[in-house]
Copies of this chain bind each other. A is one copy, B any other.
Amino acid sequence: MKTEIQKEAQDGVTGHSQLTMQVVDHVRQLVANGELKPGDRLPPERELARKLKISRSSLRAGIGFLSAMGVLKSRHGAGTFVATGPPALDSSSLTVLGALHGFLPWQMFEARLVIESSVAGLAAERATGEHIAELAEEVAEMYASMDDPQEYLIHDVRFHRTIARASGNPILGALMETITASLYDTRRMTVDNSVDLKESAEFHREIFRAIRSRNPVAAKKAMEEHLNLARMAQAAEPKATPEPN
């Protein structure tokens, strides 16, 4: 006889059907065995369904699940592909959750700040020489492309992703990706103009120096200042909020 208080805990059931999980498991195996790498295309649905001895609809349920968490991406007419880039949940995940539970922009920023500053601190402790070289390169590229916001943005993103990799914790990296993706989703990029790229580059350089000198506290603090500045710059940008409800 089960205890009665477990309603808050769980019934032991994940909530997803067996077949869906069978698909998930199969894909997981394919990836684990190296038969499927990021960017690769899955077999066609009809074929894969036949191989797994399940109907196409059930297969699609599994594919939908994996798409929802950003592992797969389907392109109509072309095929279904394994997601590239760093691991992350689907960009709409947090957006939808936010819409349902009323997440506020400042909370998103705070979450990003918490995670990314910790990640910077870890990176300062664990970055390899290779990581540091990469960071140096990206900083240099930033300085070199201060007149091209689009190009600058690319190196900005790469800089942050490299730090995530250097932190040695892919989970925190995934969470970071998810949050930033959701932020991009809500407010379109922050580099359009209005931001002083030179100042931004200086901040990145400071973060880089802290990581290179293995100073976690300084790295964390520098990242916090950088993101706080970015937050304020964006908050001061009035032209992008059509609905101030």
Contact = CB atoms under 8 A, between A and B. Distances in A.
A90 B15 contact: yes
B89 A89 contact: yes
B89 A97 contact: yes
A8 interface: yes
Copies of this chain: 2
Interface residues of A, number: 69
A8 B151 CA distance: 12
A97 B65 CA distance: 12
A180 to B, nearest CB: 12
Nearest to A111: B171
Contacts of A190: none
Nearest to A117: B118
Contact of A84 (B8, B20, B91, B151): B8
Interface in A148-166: 150-151, 154, 157
Interface string A172-198: 101100010000000000000000000
A7 B38 CA distance: 13
A179 to B, nearest CB: 7
B68 A68 contact: yes
Contacts of A132: none
A24 interface: yes
A235 interface: no
Interface in A82-112: 84-85, 87, 89-94, 96-103, 107-108, 110-111
A94 B171 contact: yes
The 7 A-B pairs of least Cβ separation, nearest first, read A68-B68, A111-B171, A114-B118, A87-B101, A15-B73, A65-B68, A64-B64
